[in-house]
Amino acid sequence: MLRPRVIVCLDVKDGRVVKGTQFKNLRDVGDPVELARRYEAEGADEIVYLDVSASKEKRGTLLDVVRRTAETLFIPLTVGGGVRSADDIGPLLRAGADKISVNTAAVNEPEILSIGSERFGSQCIVASIDAASEDGMWRCYTHGGSQPTNLDGIEWAAECERLGAGEILLTSIDQDGARSGYQIDLTREVADNVPIPVIASGGAGKAEHLRNAFDKGRASAALVAGILHDGLTTVGSLKRSLTAWGIPVRPIQTS
Amino acid sequence: MRLALLDYGAGNLHSLGKALEGAGAEVVITSDWSKALSLSALILPGVGAFGAAAAALPQDRAPIREALQGGFPCLGICLGMQLFFENSEESEGDGISLVPGSVELLDAPVVPQMGWNDVEIDDDPIFEGVGPLIGYYANSYICVPDKEADTIAWSEYDNRRFAAAVRRENTWGMQFHPEKSSAPGRRIIANFVAAVRGMS
């Protein structure tokens, strides 16, 4: 039985994990290598690094962080943020990332999805979509949620799959940071419309929200960030609640 | 003891290399087949597409197949396991033809199979001490061995049972990624390294 996944996202800037709102007021909260390991021990099913420095500053340190992480992390690692061309994918995979997520670059140059999947396999190409409910559509945004496009999230997700993406990381801009639950309608519409796994993102506040993402939203995975980093809950606690409700998440395995 | 980690030129070899080193092996990353077969064991990693990996195999598959048939230790992961078979629906190119059978597209509403799936294991030294196993998968294709006896572990996806692991002589293939399957996966890698150590 395939287990619904609980994925932990860490925002990384200049080699450190940071916390803030909408890319502003960033505070240093620790070493990504150490935090990723701790989340694996707590039962996280995957780790995502979102390099928030990528588009603006130098990103050479990211490869080093990925390399050091892969030395001690034995669950999948996805790296996103600032992957601009297909040539950026190889070095990240070689450094130890299992999957690469692309957002702005896929909108600007959709071939990055087809080239990436042909070269490395679709299982390592994640299309990241940031969408907001606007004008009767799910409007996609690029550049960390700051620039609107004319793309509709449902159609764009289907196009990303056709181009070769193996998974959709779907973030609701409206719900991001609100901790009042994932955008279930958006999640479900995309999940029902693409034949690849969908990761619900944006809005996790408590275990019930993950349950809704899996049950009502038909998500294959749920992304969690702020509530863990703020110490409001733990991966173990989320998974215990989900298990009690009959959601077959992977039990925490110890060595 | 030096193990050859075969480099097809694409993807993440780093974490698998580190898992092998963590089990006490020295890892040599190489794309040179004759060099690989001169070391203690061969690891075929699970990254990339079948066609690209098949193109990285030497034109004449016989020396590799004969080495593996003769007991040369080998671990193939995901795509690496698929290379043990004759051919794949994914793309052109022949595999090593060590295990009779084919590689077929997963016929399911959601593909790739992405995530953790339960693995039902047979009694085999590679699984010693692993306990209840949930493996991490990221695959769109599955192996279909002709002979049931070649399969040593099973998983189920969309109500279809498929080979999670196969074995021939000292060659093991895993469709899931032990190097990504947390502590139980690391134990599998340690068991492989221990098996190689016992043979060399």
Q: What is the pLDDT of residue B74?
A: 98
Question: Are A75 and B156 in contact (CB < 8 Å)?
Answer: no
Which residue among B139, B180, B187 sits closest to A75, beta carbon to beta carbon?
Answer: B180
Question: Are A1 and B140 in contact (CB < 8 Å)?
Answer: no
| Residue B176 φ then ψ, to 5° | -85, 175
For chain A, list the strands marked E by DSSP.
5-13, 16-21, 24-30, 46-51, 77-80, 99-102, 125-134, 137-142, 147-152, 167-172, 198-201, 221-224
Whether the predicted pLDDT of A77 surpasses 90? yes
Tell me which residues of chain B have a pLDDT lower than 70: none
- The two three-digit tokens of residue B78, written as one number: 């995901």
Active-site residue B78, yes or no? yes
Identify which of A125, A138, A194 has the alpha carbon closest to the alpha carbon of residue A165.
A125
- Mean pLDDT check: name the lowest of A18-32, A140-154, A185-199: A18-32
Is residue A249 assigned to a domain? no
Which residues form the domain of A237? 5-244
Residue with tokens 């498929």: B162
Query: How would residue A72 be classed by pLDDT, with cut points 50, 70 and 90?
Result: very high
Minimum distance, in Å, between the CA of residue B187 and any CA atom of chain A:
8
Is residue A155 assigned to a domain? yes
Q: What is the pLDDT of residue A43?
A: 97
Q: What is the pLDDT of residue A14?
A: 87
Domain segments of chain B as ranges: 2-199
Q: What is the pLDDT of residue A58?
A: 60
pLDDT digits (tens, 9 = 90+) for A223-232: 999 999 999 9
Bond preceding residue B112 cis, omega within 30 of 0: yes
Which residue among A45, A70, A124 sits closest to B115, beta carbon to beta carbon?
Answer: A45
Whether the predicted pLDDT of A255 surpasses 70? no
Minimum distance, in Å, between the CA of residue B82 and any CA atom of chain A:
14
CATH number of the domain residue A17 falls in: 3.20.20.70
Is residue A250 assigned to a domain? no
Which residue among A98, A121, A197 sits closest to B48, beta carbon to beta carbon?
Answer: A121
- Is residue A174 classed exposed, middle or buried when 0-12, 13-18 and 19+ CB atoms within 10 A define those classes? middle
Is residue A83 assigned to a domain? yes
Whether the predicted pLDDT of A25 surpasses 90? no
Q: How far apart are CA A250 and CA A75, in angstroms?
A: 12
Q: What is the pLDDT of residue A21?
A: 60
Amino acid code (one letter) for A66: V
Identify which of A170, A179, A176, A223 has the alpha carbon closest to the alpha carbon of residue A202.
A176
- 3-state SS class at A190: helix
Mean pLDDT confidence for A181-204: 98
Is residue A252 assigned to a domain? no
Whether the predicted pLDDT of A233 surpasses 90? yes
Q: What is the pLDDT of residue A59?
A: 66
Q: Where is pLDDT greater, at A23 or A212?
A: A212
Q: What is the pLDDT of residue B103?
A: 95
Q: What is the pLDDT of residue A161?
A: 98
Distant-in-sequence, close-in-space partners of A114: CB < 8 Å, separation ≥ 6: A163, A164
Using the Cβ of A244 and the Cβ atoms of chain B, whether some distance falls under 8 Å is answered with: no
Asked if A76 and B180 touch (Cβ cutoff 8 Å), the reply is yes
What value of ipTM does the predicted structure carry?
0.95
Q: Does domain B2-199 have CATH number 3.40.50.880?
A: yes
Q: What is the pLDDT of residue A254?
A: 57
Q: What is the pLDDT of residue B143?
A: 97
| Chain A residues within an 8 Å CB radius of B131 | 253
pTM over 0.90: yes
Asked if A76 and B138 touch (Cβ cutoff 8 Å), the reply is yes
Question: Are B180 and A76 in contact (CB < 8 Å)?
Answer: yes
pLDDT digits (tens, 9 = 90+) for B134-160: 999 999 999 999 999 999 999 999 999
Q: How many domains does chain A have?
A: 1
